Chains A and B, each alone.
Chain A
């Protein structure tokens, strides 16, 4: 092999290595996943889109303001229940389709320990979100989302985005975009059965 070939090979290997190192470097350790609702005691947010909890991992903890009462609700306070964490927005048509299903599923599985939590990713007044949720007949917890919490869940770059969390706080499933009601229900059953 002549020198040119060795040089080219070295360059290619170096570029490959840099690309792979860059990819790995973009993912923070899962244990760093924690954020607060407001300004206090919030861990520094990871790079955008970096969180994205995977199945089997502990759902990143956070504390967000509920709508309409403004009460701070930590996700950890729901430990022991199966949680359907639904990121949505008032401007999201597919989210609006899911909402009546979620209302029915909360009624059906609430007594078995399901708690649906809708995290509104709107950049609007709380009242607008509250009015919209009221109009949709929402019977589950609605929280005002923040970019920081969105980052913990992969940046929430498309809606709806739903995580199914079992009673021990582990993510058992995830649906991205509009999922059918039966898919959502199956994932709820899985969350209720696991982590006991």
Chain B
């Protein structure tokens, strides 16, 4: 073997070993349970409203409680928003949870989200809203489990844009975007 190749192999081994060690020390707190996939960005005229939908993805093998878990102790999935005065959001419509039982308690059904789920709502621009693009900050609160354990409640922040047009212009849909740093409580 040429010395360069030997050196290259040595470097790769060293880096791999170090990265593995570093991963060992990583805690599940850095683990991602849910991703924000997209929000349908909308353009809305003052005095009008348009539908909006938010898509999230629950990573395999986890599940999270639906917005209406079947027992009061369980923590429901909820969306919260910080809204600028120029835009309001109508009541969110959460999907129904899948009724599933898990190996830790096969006799009990839980109402959960797994895989993709979509929350729908309506964006409203008051008639006095000023034209412009507004970035809205949202936060998904959820609590995840897998087949063997549960994880502390988490918050998933995300942002999306709403364009408020000039009064009298028709509304139109814009392309979706997604940004979502994952943090904890």
Chain A residues proximal to chain B, CB less than 8 Å: 1, 5, 8-9, 12-13, 15-16, 19-20, 22-23, 26-27, 48-49, 89-97, 121, 123, 132, 154-160, 176-178
Q: Mark out the residues of chain B between 12 and 50 whose CB falls within 8 Å of any chain A CB in the assembled complex.
A: 14-15, 17-19, 21-22, 24-25, 27-29
A94 with B7, Cβ < 8 A, contacts A15-B15, A23-B22, A48-B27 known: no
* CB <8 Å contact, B29 and A91: no
Inter-chain contacts of A155 with B (CB < 8 A): 27, 29
**Top 9 A-B residue pairs of the complex, sorted by shortest distance between their CB atoms:** A49-B27, A177-B149, A177-B148, A19-B18, A92-B150, A16-B18, A158-B149, A90-B73, A94-B104
Q: Other than the known A176-B149, A177-B148, what 17 A-B pairs have Cβ atoms closer than 8 Å?
A: A1-B7, A5-B4, A9-B7, A20-B21, A27-B25, A49-B27, A49-B29, A93-B105, A93-B108, A94-B104, A94-B105, A95-B150, A123-B185, A155-B29, A157-B151, A159-B150, A178-B149
* CB <8 Å contact, A157 and B27: yes
* CB <8 Å contact, A94 and B149: yes
Q: Which of A8, A12, A89, A156 has most B Cβ within 10 Å? A: A12
* CB <8 Å contact, A94 and B14: no
Shortest distance between the CB of B176 and any CB in chain A (Å): 32
* CB <8 Å contact, A16 and B149: no
| Complex: A94 Cα to B102 Cα, angstroms | 10
Q: Does B84 contact A (CB under 8 A)?
A: no
* CB <8 Å contact, A159 and B21: no
The contact of A91 among B22, B28, B74, by CB within 8 Å, is B74
Inter-chain contacts of B10 with A (CB < 8 A): 9
Listed by A's residue number, 5 A-B pairs whose Cβ atoms lie within 8 Å are A12-B14, A15-B18, A23-B22, A94-B105, A158-B28
* Residue interface bits B132-171, CB-to-A below 8 A is 1, else 0: 0000000000010100111111000000000000000000
Number of A-B pairs, beta carbon distance below 8 Å = 94
* CB <8 Å contact, B11 and A178: no
The contact of A19 among B11, B22, B110, B149, by CB within 8 Å, is B22
Inter-chain contacts of B152 with A (CB < 8 A): 89, 121, 156-157, 159
Inter-chain contacts of B17 with A (CB < 8 A): 16
Inter-chain contacts of A27 with B (CB < 8 A): 25
* CB <8 Å contact, B28 and A26: no
* CB <8 Å contact, A16 and B15: yes
Inter-chain contacts of A123 with B (CB < 8 A): 153, 185
Inter-chain contacts of A178 with B (CB < 8 A): 104, 148-149
